[in-house]
Each structure stands twice: as structure tokens, then as C-alpha cells.
Amino acid sequence: MIAFIQYSQASVLLYRLILLFLLSISNCAWSSNTIAIINDTNSVFNIGKSGSYFVDKNQNLSFDTIASDEYAKQFRPLNRDYLQFGMVQGNIWIRTDIAIRTTNSTPVLLEIDSPRLQYLDIYLPNLYENQIQAELGGARPYNNKQIKTPNYVYSIPANSPPVFTLYIKLSSHLPINAQIELKTLSQLSQDTQKDLTYTGIILGVLLTLFVCNAFFFTKTSHPMYLIYCILLIAIAVLHLALHDQVSQFFPNQTNVQERIYNLAALSCLCAIVFFSRLYFDTKEHLPIMNKWLISIGSINALFVILFTLSPERINILLLSMLAISTFIILIVHAVIAFMKKIPFSGYYLVARLTLICGHFTWVMSVYGIIPNIILFKWGLTLTIIVESMIHFTGMIIQTAPLLQRHSRKSKYSQTETASLLPDISSRLRRQINILGGVLSHLDQAATSNDTKLLLTSSLTANNNIKNLVERIELLSDIKENTLPDQLHPIALNQLIDNAYNNFQRLDQDNTLIELNTYKTNQVEILQNASILQHLIETLIQEFKHFTDQTLTLNITRHEMNREGITLLELSSYPLPTQIRATTASFDLGMHYIMLLIQYLEGEVHISENERTRSINIQLPIHTHIRPLNNDINQQSHFDIILFGQEDSDLQKALTILQNHANKIEHFTTLESLLDYLELPAKRESGSIILVFDNGGHIPHITQQRLMPLMRREDQCLLISNNVKMSLDYAKKLGFDELLACSELEAHLKQRISRLIQKGDRLKSTSLSRINPLRKTP
């Protein structure tokens, strides 16, 4: 008996637990806030949490009927923050109770965020019985809006009772997606500002891409960039139409948002199709696909007109099917191009996959399969922007010489080879004549100074012949693409010094060369160092002057926004008159230089300014920065000498140089400076002389007195306030550099470092830095 009683109690307890579980499930499924409350702590409330809805499929029920007790029982709870009803044939009625309990008179607004909604009616029966308080929607004029904002906003009357009922009627032949919220005025302003900020960022990205493509179109006249610009404009208009920011420009027209949306969407499809033709040049590579693309592009263009003129007469599903069909053809096009290994087809395939996946996800959010308001509002625009940027990357790479590696494998014709042989013979003839003269003289002359000079000349000529052979071998390696890999990094400064020393070994004309380097310290070349060194040697040899005119070569390193890549700029002037940037003549001169630049994937530009011709070469190189133990500013093998009267500029220079480890001297009179510099051979270190044009002395007379006492590595910098003083004129006076007094703080240290480098190079060469004076009879 006791066991039976215990069993009965356990059964009752189990039934109670089951009942409690069922009640909790029912409560979670159907429970919702019965009233929407706005107070001092809650500035926003989502109607989906408190409201209920009813679908009038026949669209024949009046408001009085809907508000009656009979239909009030048929409303079902929403219980969702974001309302997605999909395609609905009928009217959707939403009802909720509202209570506004703010202590101050804060305006409260009803915001309905429902892009492309056709009809929206608002009722407040407690205040105005069955009268419609707002008739909004895309099928109605923009001027119907009480508050002119992209979303539908209605101001709750200030005289509303403590608790009142709100009815909203939604109707559209498009998928209905809505987020309905009560907000205070400040909260609405914050949310609107946030949406406008995001829109501004997106439009900024599109504008940047548009400007870049417009620039490429003006430079290349290729229609691909023009079509791409049209695509970017269509994307921007599509985004603005989706967020209903275009209806305000047509305040009295109806269905403006839908018309412009259809126009922009189908224009995007047309632009993508015709852009695809030009991107791959399908007329040449894929003639069959070219016909398909023309057909689908023309069909899209036809539907642009139909959907824009009468969007309400054509089912929106047709637009979706048209987009899907277009994407299928484009993805087939991308796969075929990728399988046939058409250049840059990989970028196109990635872009197509990105677009079709993003559009498919967005369509699912439109029809309520994936309920996400962020995806619905921003997904399509961001997908097309990402797809466009992938295309843009591919177009940049197509036009950038840095990645056109296939140009190395160009074939050389018989005509080019035939023009090469005479050029070789003409260059070798001079060296052979020199060697012949030396050999004939050796048969007759004895050992003497003249014989030694001739032997030196013959060795130089022999070195030049070896250099020509090296050029031919390097040319052959480039042609066959058989250059050996670089095994070890080489310091850029060492490479430049090697090139300069090799030129000195080959020079037969006592050529005057000024070599300046900028930002080359601690830089190591990881690839193609031998070719870069050979290019610098060849530039000096081909551009040198056979007179007393000096050839200047500036070598500058520029940082680029690519990992491990540095841009090296070679600038040389003045150029001889016979130098032309042409590849018509296949020789070992300028054409050979152009081949080296092309192999290094660089760019060359020859300009002329005030009768001075210059060449500018930019080369991408792989580099590595290796920190050094001793910075160049800490090298003390050069003394810094300041010459001039004490004034604010000289005092500023002393302040800037006070942390230098170099020995610093200051002289106010020329005689004391000359006494210090007397007997150059006995001085232990070189000197960097800073001449300030502030003491009444004449700069060119000062330089004439200084030059006989300067060592090979000594450098002289003129610091002047004379705005008419130019660098060319200063160099004609004998100074190595010119610096304006206003640039002391910004450029003095850099200029001294450059002069120290130049002095180091001059010290290691056998040529004097001072040109021999010409004596006139």
C-alpha cells in the first residue's frame, strides 16, 4: 500500500514537471511585451517585440472591421526585431499598444525602415478614430512625408493619452521587409547620422575608383575604363535608390525609388557584361562567348527601359531571374577563360564568384530566407564594390610594367640581328686601332715614360673590349632568360662604388662625373644586383661628355607601399644631343640601356628644360635594410669647417651640428682659414667646408683661394640668402653644393651626409677632384 502511494506521488510530480515544461515552451513561443514603452531610460523600442499582425489576403477589409473584436483575436504576435514577410498578396496589418512615459516633453517618433515599400498607412484610433494619419510609400509622392528623411517617419502627437493603440497597414507587390521602431528625436538623429556616415564612406570608395579609371581612360583611350566608370556610377545610384535617398529630387512623382532602382540594377548588369567583353577581348580570344555576351547585354539594356518606365506592370521575379541568368553566363565565361589560361583570368574568376555568392546571399535576405537587416541594406552594395575592386586590381596589374614579366621573352628578328653586327664592329674598331698603334710603337720604342702611357692606354682599351663582350653576353642571357640567380645580398652603396670604379677603369677621356646618392645607406640589394650595377656603368659610359662639361648622376631610393619593394630612381643630366629614347636602332647604346631597364621592369622618361636634357629612370628593386653599428653621422674622419661672420644663420647651423661627433671649426677671416688648410697632405682627415655668404666676401674669390689647398675628398658647401643664386651657377664657381639659409634646419644634416659620401668616393679613386686649369697662350 505504501509503495502504491509513493508511486502515485511520483507520477503526480512527473506530470507537474511535464506541464511546467509545456507552459514554458508556450510562454517562450507566444509571449511578447504587450505594450511598447518609451521612457527616460529607453529611447528606442522595437515594435516587433510588442506588436501583432494580421494578413488581409483579399485586401477588402476596412479599418473598422480590422479594429473590431472579431478580428482582434486573429492578430498573431510578431516576436521579431526585423520583420520579413516576403512576397505577400494582400495587406499586412500591424497593431501595438504604446505608452509614452517621459518626464520631459521629448518628441517621440515612429520610424519604419522598409526600402521599396509601395503603400504605408498609419492609424491612431484613440485620437482620430478611423482617419488615416499618414499615407506614405514609394507609390505615393515624396511630399506626403511629414518629416523629410530617407525612412518613413511619423511624429507621435504630443496630446496622445498615456496608453493608446497604433495600427499600420503595409502593402506592396515587392517583398516586404521592415524594421519598425519608436524613437526619441535624439536617437533618430544619431541613427540617421550613422547611416549617412556609412553611405559617405561607400561613396568615397566609389569616387576614388572613378577618378582612377577616368585618369586611365584619358591616358589610354581604352573603352574598358569608360565602361568601368559607368559601372561605378550605377553602383552609387543603386545604393542611393535602395536607401531611398533619390526620391527627394522628384518630390511630386510616384514610384521614383523603384524606377531608379531598376534602372541602376540593370545598368550594372549591362556594364558588367560589356566590361567582361573588353576585359578579355572576347572578340579575339572567345568569339562564341562574345556573341553570347552581346546578346545578354542587349537583353538587359531592353529591360532597363521596360522596368524603368512601368515597374508595376512587370513581376519583380523576372528581374531576379534576369540577374541570375546573366550571372550564370558570366561565371561560365570566367571558367572558360580561366581554363584557356587567358592572362589575368584568375582575377576575373574571383570577382565573378564573389558577385554571384554575394548576390545570392542578398536575394535570400530579400525574400526572408536569411532575416538580417544589415545584409539586406548593405550586402548588395558592398558585394558589388568588392567585385569592382577585384576587377580594378586586375586592370592595374595589366597596365603596370612591374608585373609584365612576359615582355622579357620577346623574339628578335633577323633585321635587328643584322643591325647589331655593324654596331659591334664599329665599337670594336676604335679599340683595335688603339691596340694596333701600341703594338707598332712597342716594336720601335724602348722602355720610357711614353711607353708606359701607351701601355696604360692599351690596358684601358683592352678593358673596354672586355666590357663590350660582357654587354653581348648579358644581352644573350636576357634574350634566352638564362641569367643566374643572385646568391647573396649586396650593399647598394658598394654596388654604386663598384660601378663608379669600373667606369674609371674604362674611361679614356678624363670625363668629369658628379655622382650623388640619396637614402642609400644600410640598403642591401637582394635581386638583379649585377644587372643594376651594369646599368649604372653603361649609363655613365653612354651619357658622358667628351668636353669639360660635367655629367651629373643622382641615385635616390624611394619607399613604396609594397612589402620588400623599393623604387630606385636614376636621374642624369645634361644628356648629349645624340641620346634619344628610341628602340628603332638595335645597338649596344641607348637600345641596350632600354633592354636592361625593360628587364628590370622599370620606366624611363627623357625631358628637356631650358635647353638642358635629362633622363629619369625608375626601377623596382627588392631590398633589405640592415642596421649598421656606426651611423654615417658618427663618422669622424671628416672635419666640419664653418666660414663666415657670426649671425643668426651661422648660429643656427652650429646648434644643428652640436650633436655631431665630427670635429667642428669656425673661422671668421679668410686668412685664418687658409692658414688652417695649408699643407693639405699633412692633414689627418678630410674637410667639409661651409661657406656662409654673409660677411661681405665674394664667394667665387673665396673658392678660388680655397681650391688649391683642398684635398681630393674635401667638399665645399655654399650657404646663401641670395635668391638669385642657383645650383648651376654655384657649381660653376667651384662649389659642390648650394643650400639656402631658410633650409638649414630641414636639409643641413642630409646635405653634409651626402658630401661625406661623395668625399669617400673621391678619396678611393685616382682622379683629382680639381679640374686642371687651361692655360691660354
Contact 713, 759 (CB under 8 A): yes
Burial track 79-107 (b if 16+ CB lie within 10 A, e otherwise)? beebbbbeebeebbbbbbbbbbeeeeeee
Is residue 28 in some structural domain? Answer: no
Whether residues 469 and 382 share a domain: the answer is no
Cα Rg of the chain, angstroms: 41
Instruction: Give me the pLDDT at residue 630, please.
Output: 45
Q: What is the count of structural domains for the chain?
A: 4
Whether residues 679 and 614 share a domain: the answer is no
Whether residues 165 and 244 share a domain: the answer is no
Is residue 19 in some structural domain? Answer: no
Whether residues 230 and 154 share a domain: the answer is no
Angle at 282 between CA 602 and CA 207, to 5 degrees: 60
Whether residues 606 and 643 share a domain: the answer is no
Whether residues 495 and 617 share a domain: the answer is yes
Structure-block grid coordinates of residue 765 = 679613386
Structure-block grid coordinates of residue 4 = 502504491
Q: Are strands 91-101 and 163-171 parallel, antiparallel or unpaired?
A: antiparallel
The DSSP letter of residue 618 is E
* CATH number, position 115: 2.60.40.2380
Instruction: Give me the pLDDT at residue 563, please.
Output: 47
Alpha carbons 513 and 553: distance in angstroms, whole number: 8
List all residues 6 or more positions away from 310 whose beta carbon is below 8 Å from its beta carbon: none
Is residue 631 in some structural domain? Answer: no
What HEC string does 88-155 produce?
Answer: CCCEEEEEEEEEEECCCCCCEEEEEECCCCCEEEEECHHHHCCCEEEEECCCCCHHHCCCCCCCEEEE
Q: Which of 349, 366, 399 is the last residue of a domain?
A: 399
Alpha carbons 692 and 722: distance in angstroms, whole number: 11
Is residue 748 in some structural domain? Answer: yes
Whether residues 475 and 354 share a domain: the answer is no
Whether residues 670 and 552 share a domain: the answer is no
Is residue 460 in some structural domain? Answer: yes
Whether residues 722 and 619 share a domain: the answer is no
Angle between helices 345-366 and 316-339 (to 10 degrees): 160
Instruction: Give me the pLDDT at residue 578, please.
Output: 67
Instruction: Give me the pLDDT at residue 20, please.
Output: 58
Is residue 345 in some structural domain? Answer: yes
Alpha carbons 510 and 507: distance in angstroms, whole number: 7
- The count of other CB atoms within 10 Å of the CB of residue 708 is 10
Structure-block grid coordinates of residue 601 = 621592369
Instruction: Give me the pLDDT at residue 249, please.
Output: 86
**Distance from the Cα of residue 297 to its chain's centroid:** 31
Whether residues 558 and 445 share a domain: the answer is yes
Q: Which residues of the chain have pLDDT under 70?
A: 1-33, 312, 397-456, 459, 462, 480, 546-548, 560-565, 578-587, 610, 627-636, 681-682, 695-696, 764-777
Backbone angles phi, psi at 310, to 5 degrees: -140, 75
Backbone angles phi, psi at 758, to 5 degrees: -65, -40
Whether residues 177 and 244 share a domain: the answer is no
Is residue 238 in some structural domain? Answer: yes
Whether residues 619 and 668 share a domain: the answer is no
Q: Which of 595, 625, 655 is the last residue of a domain?
A: 625
Is residue 158 in some structural domain? Answer: yes
Residue range of the domain that includes 183: 36-187
DSSP 301-356: HHHHHHHHH-GGGS-HHHHHHHHHHHHHHHHHHHHHHHHTT-TTHHHHHHHHHHHH
